[in-house]
Structure 1
C-alpha cells in the first residue's frame, strides 16, 4: 500500500510498508504483543529513506516508522537514463546488495525489499542481486547504504582535479 505525504521541507513523499512483524515478550503475567513496521519513503526524484517503528498497534507502528524514515532521507546520484551512475555493492550487517547500471528499457530487476527502495528513489533502470543475509530490514538498509555511497562523474572529477571527460574516458 502506497500513500503520498507532504514533508516539512515541502517534498512530496510516497511511503511503502515493507514488513510488519509481531514481536512477543514473555513476562510474569503472560505475553506482551507489539508490532514492528519497516517503512520506506521517497520522492521518486533522488531521495529515499527507511525507518523502523515499534508500537502496540499496527497503525501507530507505521506512523512511527514513517517519521523515522523522513529523518533518515538520503540523496541518490541518478544519471539521465534514470539509472545509477556506476556499479556498487552496499553492505549492512551480513546483507550485501550488488547494484548494477542498466541501459534504458531494462526496468527494475530486484527482489522485494531492494525493489521498493529503488522505486521510491526514482530509479527506473537497475539490476540488483541480494547477497548474504535475506533479512528484509538488512537488505533495505544495505540498498540505501549502496545508493548513498554513489558519486556523480562531476564529484569524482572535482575530487581528482580533472575534467569530466577525462574521468569518463
Structure 2
C-alpha cells in the first residue's frame, strides 16, 4: 500500500526507519494486512509481506436484493475502527462498483468484494489507521451468526427421559436392619 519514513529522535540526531503497509488477498474472500518497520525499505517490505500472509482472514460476502449469481457485496452493514478513523460499509446493488476512497478500494478489491458503499470519518489522511480500520471492517463480516450457518442439532435423551418407565414402576426397597448390639453401643 505505502512505505513511509518514520523518525526517532536520539542524542546523536534522528534515526530514520521505513514503515511498510502491505495488503495481500486472493480476490476470492481472503485478505491479510501486514505492517513492518525496518532500517531498509526492502527488509520492511519483505517483513510486511510475511506478516500479511500470516494474518489472512476470511471475508464473508453476501447479496443485495435477490440471491442470483455469486455473492458480490458485504452481507450487512459493518463498521471498523482504528484510532480516530471509522469506516462503514453498506451493501450495494450489483453493478454499483466499489464506492470508496483510494485506500479502502484497494483492500476491498483484494478481498474480492465487487459492490459496496463506504463512508469514513476521522483523520483518513493517516494511511495506517485507514487501512487497519478497513481491515477491521472486513474481519467483522464473519462476526455474527445467520440462519444459513445454523447447524441442525440432534438432541439426545437424558437418562431421566430414557429410563422414565423403569423409574415410574413402584419397586420394593430393600431394608437393611442393623444389628441391635451396634445400636445400643
Q: Does residue 61 in structure 1 map to residue 41 in structure 2?
A: no
CA pair 27-70 structure 1, distance change in 2 beyond 3 A? same
> Structure 1 runs of 4+ off > 3 angstroms?
158-162
CA distance in 2, matches of 1:125, 1:63: 31
- RMSD after superposition: 2.2
CA distance in 1, matches of 2:149, 2:110: 29
Segments of 5+ residues of structure 2 without an aligned counterpart are: 63-69, 153-185
> Secondary structure at 2:42's aligned position in 1?
helix
Aligned to 1:148: 139
1:10-159 map, 5 Å:
18-79=1-62, 80-134=70-124, 135-151=126-142, 155-157=145-147
Q: TM-score, normalised by structure 2?
A: 0.71
Segments of 5+ residues of structure 1 without an aligned counterpart are: 1-17, 163-169
> Secondary structure at 1:44's aligned position in 2?
coil
What is the Cα deviation at residue 31 of structure 1? 2.4
CA distance in 2, matches of 1:28, 1:152: 47
Bigger radius of gyration: 2
> Secondary structure at 2:146's aligned position in 1?
helix
- Greater fraction strand: 1
